[in-house]
């Protein structure tokens, strides 16, 4: 097991909560782990953190990644009954078709949808934002290495990997029916700040200090 010096690249999760009206307003933005966990718990979404395993190269194989997190993965499977686990990853490269592949991958789950299975993702590397549309609000959860997010089945949500997707995630499934999205047709994703905007916002806050929120 590669469990040495585990947490060197752990960064904080970041949550922004918006109203879901025609002109969304920001209700909350925070990188406080306890605050984020509590806010998500209130909408039945679970966020846990695992120690990040050191020594996994970007683009490591599925076998290497699952072996590195064998104990944690086994525990989740045993406790929550998942029967399938795999690794999804996307990293920028120099190929001429990268922009097209990146855009196509991003588009796939960028509109609001639901699934009839939970959506459970552990971020091994990189980042992505899950937008959870529940009770008139949108919780935008920027997931980063070490984050295990569990979104219950039938939760309306979308996912943005940004214009330059770069992430590695372990996925857990209850069955092998394939991962399909049931799209709601609600264009709400188009009026909520996207991955690039939220990442830029967070970077400017980090550079300039908090604005009182």
Residues marked as binding for Fe(2+)? 113, 115, 119, 157
- When the beta carbons of 68 and 82 are compared against Fe ion, the nearer one is 82
CB of 114 to Fe ion, least distance (A): 8
Write down the least CB distance from residue 166 to Fe ion, Å: 19
| Extended beta strands in the chain, E state | 14-19, 26-30, 46-49, 84-90, 113-114, 119-126, 128-134, 137-143, 147-151, 157-160, 167-173, 182-183
Return the number of the residue (56 or 110) whose C-beta is nearest Fe ion: 110
* Binding-site string for Fe ion from residue 51 to residue 90, where x marks contact by CB under 5 A and - marks none: ----------------------------------------
Contact by Cβ (8 Å): 30, 14: yes
Q: Is 208 helix (H, G, I), strand (E, B) or coil?
A: helix
The Cα 100–Cα 6 span in angstroms is: 35
CB of 143 to Fe ion, least distance (A): 13
> Which DSSP category does 52 fall into?
P
Task: Look at the alpha carbons of 124, 127, 128, 131 in this order and tell me if their dihedral is positive or negative.
Answer: positive
Residue 36: count of CB within 10 angstroms of its CB? 22
Of 84-113, binders to Fe ion (CB under 5 A) are 109
Instruction: Tell me which stretch binds Fe ion (CB under 5 A): 16-24, 94-102, 114-122, 183-191.
Output: 114-122
Minimum Å distance from CB 130 to Fe ion? 8
Residues that bind Fe ion in the complex, under the rule CB under 5 A: 109, 119
């Amino acid at each position: 097991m590669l469990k040495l010096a585990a947490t060197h690249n752990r960064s904080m999760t970041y949550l922004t909560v918006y109203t879901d009206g025609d002109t969304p307003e920001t209700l909350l933005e925070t990188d406080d782990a306890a605050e984020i966990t509590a806010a998500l718990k209130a909408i039945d979404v679970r966020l846990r953190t695992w120690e990040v395993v050191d020594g996994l190269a970007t683009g490591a194989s599925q076998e290497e990644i699952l072996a590195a997190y064998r104990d944690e993965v086994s525990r989740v499977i045993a406790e929550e009954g998942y029967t399938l686990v795999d690794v999804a990853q996307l990293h920028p490269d120099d190929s001429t078709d990268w922009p097209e592949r990146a855009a196509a991958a991003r588009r796939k789950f960028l509109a609001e949808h639901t699934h009839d299975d939970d959506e459970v993702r552990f971020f091994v590397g990189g980042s992505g934002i899950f937008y959870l549309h529940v009770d008139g609000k949108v919780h935008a959860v920027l997931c980063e290495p070490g984050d295990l997010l569990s979104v219950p089945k039938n939760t309306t949500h979308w996912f943005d990997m940004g214009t330059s997707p770069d992430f590695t995630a372990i996925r857990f499934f209850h069955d092998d029916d394939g991962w399909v999205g049931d799209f709601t047709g609600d264009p709400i994703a188009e009026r909520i700040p996207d991955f690039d905007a939220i990442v830029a916002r967070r970077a400017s806050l980090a550079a300039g200090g908090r604005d009182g929120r």
